[in-house]
Amino acid sequence: MIDDYLGSGEGARRALRDQPGLAEAARRAGGTNTGFFSYENTSESAQALFASAGKNSLNAGAILGAMKLGGRLGLGREGGFLTWVDSSLLPPFERVAKYFYLNVTTLSQNADGLTFKFLAPLPPPLQK
């Protein structure tokens, strides 16, 4: 997957700061100067998952386990989640792409303690 990403020199890559919706999501989560800021393009992550799952469900489990929430839920463990799912039945990613967008996470501190914020804005195609 990394090799595919690095080898695809199609067009100029957009700077992270120019990603649609990122600046607004970062502002709503507390800003990028909080001490810790994390960004995930869930659309790209899900697209990679769908492509990998179509080839081999073990790859899908490894990718799910590497994602933030998937790792916490143990989705990458062999014999768990993978026994419940037939990844060959997943639809083409294009049919579900509108449900994926981005996530941002911030962590800040002050005299009262730590503040953790996670924001997953509604994807633009679903904003009606």
What's the total number of domains in the chain? 2
Flag whether 77 is in a domain: yes
Query: Which range of residues forms the domain containing residue 31?
Result: 19-41+102-128
* Per-residue CA distances from 100 to 32, 45, 77, 97, 124 (Å): 22, 9, 24, 6, 9
57 and 81, same domain (yes or no): yes
- Mean pLDDT, consecutive 10-residue segments, the chain of 128 residues? 58 76 92 90 86 68 62 61 71 93 93 94 90
Q: Which helix (H) or strand (E) holds 59?
A: helix 57-66
Would the pTM of this model clear 0.75, i.e. be above it? no
* pLDDT at residue 80 in the model: 61
Note the pLDDT of residue 101.
94
